[in-house]
Structure 1
Amino acid sequence: MRRRIISLTVLAALVATVLFALPLGIAVLKYYRDDTTADLERAADAAALAVSHELNTGLTPHVPPPDEDDEAEGQVGIYGPDGRLLAGHGPAVGGPIERQAASATMDVVTGREGGELVLAVPVVSGARTTGVVRAAVPVADLTLRVGLTWLGMAGLAVAAIGASWLMARRFTTRLVRPLDELVCAAERLGDGDFTARGPRAGITEIDRVGEALDATAARIGRTLERERAFSAEASHQLRTPLTGLRLQLEAALQTPGADPHDAIRAGIASADRLERTIEDLLALGRERRAPRAELDLDALLDEVRQAGAGLLEPHGRALRIIRQDPPPARVAAAAVRQVLGVLLDNAATHGRGTVTVVARDAGDALAVDVADEGPDLGENDPFASAPTGHGIGLRLARSLAEAEGGRLRLSRPDPPTFTLLLPTADPCPDGQHP
């Protein structure tokens, strides 16, 4: 690109120089020719005035010395009517130009004779021509003057084209450098460095590309960070059904006399819950989801009862579910199922005693409280990511609740009670679902 821009710039300068130099060169040639003719005419007129008296009286004329600035010095000759050279410089016998001037049909006669540019003027006394003044300059002198001028013009043209080349290199470097930096930023972005940012060159078009690259890098970085966080939280979420399945199998091994079919059936139920959890997480991880239907709270609470039994009964703990006229809610069942699963797992892992789940009416929201008889949480933030990783699941549960237009909060630290608030109406009135 750099070479192409420089080549086009130099070519444009060359074309412009040629288009300007051609008429200027022709004008220079015409100017020098006219200027030389004017010099010859002045020299011839001055000589004609000086020798007219001698020619009219039949005396031998004497050519006056030329002025210091007269470029026709030594080129003036005086001829008689018969065409013979009387004084000055020139051929011994005049040529066609001198004869034409002697006929007195024209005041000034110009032309070329041999290698000279010649101008002849007649000297007239009344109706009689008494002589001819011839002024001449070598054509080579005129050619030299024109050639030197053209050479100077060519030098200026070369200098102009060279300046164009230097300026093109400078501006091309300024133009290409931000593009090279954009390439480096794009390569860093391709290598996974989402902190890469494009340069600002002060050129609108390049700056717009840099801004688009920056926006893309930031968007990809946020997306990847969100996906990584979701993957970490989702993997933590899968431990709940796996823990229940493990506890059921361990309990079956510790009671050899028990019917193995019951343990197998419980294991299959836990495997089904694990499969359901995986499906829910995959569905919730998609950017576009299906339109929300009305939540089947009875079926959801029944699933909570089964999951809670698998988590709590092996430890001799109980699960109690209470319904207090809960209103209908239009939210994704998968999200609510996973939130309650996190709360149950949290109560089973960190709580004590009976776990109570209450579904109630909270005005314009459906509230689901999950409480246990564990120790006072005090000032601790259960949603913070602790070194043990206990806050990961709760953070996932909160993000899922907020994605459905609801909230998840610690409503009471003692006994520990978490409350899930879900809107009773569709949180997207226009029917557009994320």
Structure 2
Amino acid sequence: MRRRIVMLTVLSAVLAISLFGIPLAAGVAHYYMADERSELTRFATEATVTVSAAQLSGRDPTELPSTEPGVQLAVYDHAGRRIGGRGPAVADAAVRGALHGVPANGQDGSDLVVTVPVANNEHVTGAIRAAAGKMFVYRRVARNWLLMLAVACAAVLITGLLARRQARRLARPLEEMSAMAERLGDGDFSVRARPSGIPEIDSTGASLSTTAERLGDLLARERAFSADASHQLRTPLTGLRLQLESLLDAPGNTRVEEISQAMAEADRLQRTIDDLLALARDVPRHKEPLDLDGLLEEARKTWHADLAGKGRPLRVRIAPDLPTTDASTAAARQILHVLIENAIRHGAGTVTVDVRDAGDALAIDVSDQGPGIDSPPDDLFRRRTVTAGHGIGLAMARRLAEAEGGRLRLARPSPPTFTLLLPGA
């Protein structure tokens, strides 16, 4: 941003100086050319005063007034012959015009030429020719152009320095707000914008600070609610498990299998509550590679009994050389459980979990041999959507996947196959 501000300011200054300087440079060149012609006219006019009729007739030697270096004066008689000074021996077009009473100024090759008639008793008796090289004028113009160029460069340099200072003043608070927004996105709600002295930026910074404060308060309330909810949920679960253990140890108990299964369900519910509360609190965690083997083994133990009771096998296939991922184990476990549970409740036949390499991601496919899904894929992941049963829990599972930087999608409607993509580490 700083570079763009400086570049735009400098380019604007260069454009403004060019729009002003180019016509000025042309005007300077025109001025010096006109000034030189004016000087030549002055020298020629002064010479007409000093030249007498006797000199024009050749009776007296011709003496011309002194001039600046580089200026040539010549005197011509009425016949167009040079009788003094330096110039063409025979009258040129400008001199002939002056001999007819018409002063002239123009160019003769590389010289500027001015001619003035010499009159005696209202009769033209001769002419004065003044000439100077244009190179002398060009040198004067070049010196002034160099001076103008130096001033323009100094102006551009000063403009660039001022623009750099102003860009730093403008960009610093914006860069700080960008870093502040990034920290806010990472969960740091203590960020506050410092005053910059620029009303518009300070107003935006104040709004961002207010937003951070409100989000911090909201998160604090949600965490307090999570703690209360955790206590309210864990207490009855703990009591339920104690009662199940008492029933399991009771003499003459004939329902050991049912009670053990209920205890396993209570443990799974407890683990689900812990995972969801941890995810809801967004507790910072150390990035560790996902224990894929442990995750799949836990899923096999959790769902084997349910599937076996319905005569449906659970097949887990793991491809070799899989990429690692540092996705949250809690999130991956909940997503996988949602997908397997949907396959059990709403599918048919074998439930297959395929783990494969998807390039820069780890892919987990969960499929069954059911009739398929007729509803549009987007409807499956809408909150509280239940279309042929397949929508249950998928909205939450997709949100968990996206929170880990992954994706959850319906890869194939028939047989139904859901794919979880977790980014590689």
Tell me the CA shift for residue 71 of structure 1. 3.4
| Matching residue of 1:59 | 59
Which SS does the other structure have where 2:192 is aligned?
coil
| Matching residue of 1:2 | 2
Q: What are the Cα deviations for residues 346-397 of structure 1, in whole angstroms up to 9, with x where unaligned?
A: xxxxxxxxxxxxxxxxxxxxxxxxxxxxxxxxxxxxxxxxxxxxxxxxxxxx
Tell me the CA shift for residue 138 of structure 1. 0.8
Letter in structure 2 aligned against 1:15: L
Among 68, 71, 75, which residue is 2:68 paired with?
Answer: 71
Among 211, 214, 228, which residue is 1:219 paired with?
Answer: 214
Which SS does the other structure have where 2:51 is aligned?
helix
Residues 137/249 of structure 1: CA separation in 2 closer, same or farther (3 Å cut): closer
| Matching residue of 1:90 | 87
Letter in structure 1 aligned against 2:89: A
Residues 223/91 of structure 1: CA separation in 2 closer, same or farther (3 Å cut): same
Counting only pairs closer than 5 Å after superposition, residues 125-274 of structure 1 correspond to structure 2 as 125-238=120-233, 241-242=236-237, 245=240
CA separation in 2, counterparts of 1:247 and 1:109?
125
| Matching residue of 2:78 | 81
Would you say the 8 A contact 2:116–2:127 is kept in 1? yes
Would you say the 8 A contact 1:200–1:207 is kept in 2? yes
Would you say the 8 A contact 1:55–1:130 is kept in 2? no
Q: What are the Cα deviations for residues 80-105 of structure 1, in whole angstroms up to 9, with x where unaligned?
A: 1111111122122221111110112x
Q: Which runs of 5+ in 2 are unaligned?
A: 281-425
Counting only pairs closer than 5 Å after superposition, residues 201-350 of structure 1 correspond to structure 2 as 201-238=196-233, 241-242=236-237, 245=240
CA separation in 1, counterparts of 2:237 and 2:174?
53
Tell me the CA shift for residue 43 of structure 1. 0.9
Which SS does the other structure have where 1:86 is aligned?
strand
Tell me the CA shift for residue 249 of structure 1. 6.2
| Matching residue of 2:45 | 45
Would you say the 8 A contact 2:74–2:84 is kept in 1? yes
Residues 168/180 of structure 1: CA separation in 2 closer, same or farther (3 Å cut): same
Q: What are the Cα deviations for residues 403-424 of structure 1, in whole angstroms up to 9, with x where unaligned?
A: xxxxxxxxxxxxxxxxxxxxxx
Would you say the 8 A contact 1:74–1:88 is kept in 2? no
Would you say the 8 A contact 2:64–2:85 is kept in 1? no
Would you say the 8 A contact 1:199–1:210 is kept in 2? yes
CA separation in 2, counterparts of 1:48 and 1:73?
20
Residues 134/222 of structure 1: CA separation in 2 closer, same or farther (3 Å cut): same
User: Scaled by the length of structure 1, what TM-score is found?
Assistant: 0.54
| Matching residue of 1:12 | 12
Which SS does the other structure have where 2:89 is aligned?
coil
Q: What are the Cα deviations for residues 109-156 of structure 1, in whole angstroms up to 9, with x where unaligned?
A: 111122211111111112432211111111111121112212221222
- The count of residues paired between Structure 1 and Structure 2 equals 264
Residues 51/238 of structure 1: CA separation in 2 closer, same or farther (3 Å cut): same
Counting only pairs closer than 5 Å after superposition, residues 352-431 of structure 1 correspond to structure 2 as none
CA separation in 1, counterparts of 2:249 and 2:64?
146
User: Scaled by the length of structure 2, what TM-score is found?
Assistant: 0.55
Which SS does the other structure have where 1:178 is aligned?
helix
Which SS does the other structure have where 1:192 is aligned?
coil
Residues 243/95 of structure 1: CA separation in 2 closer, same or farther (3 Å cut): closer
Letter in structure 1 aligned against 2:3: R
| Matching residue of 1:389 | none
Pick which of 71-80 and 152-161 moved more: 71-80
CA separation in 1, counterparts of 2:245 and 2:56?
151
| Matching residue of 1:330 | none
CA separation in 1, counterparts of 2:245 and 2:88?
137
Tell me the CA shift for residue 226 of structure 1. 0.8
Residues 55/129 of structure 1: CA separation in 2 closer, same or farther (3 Å cut): farther
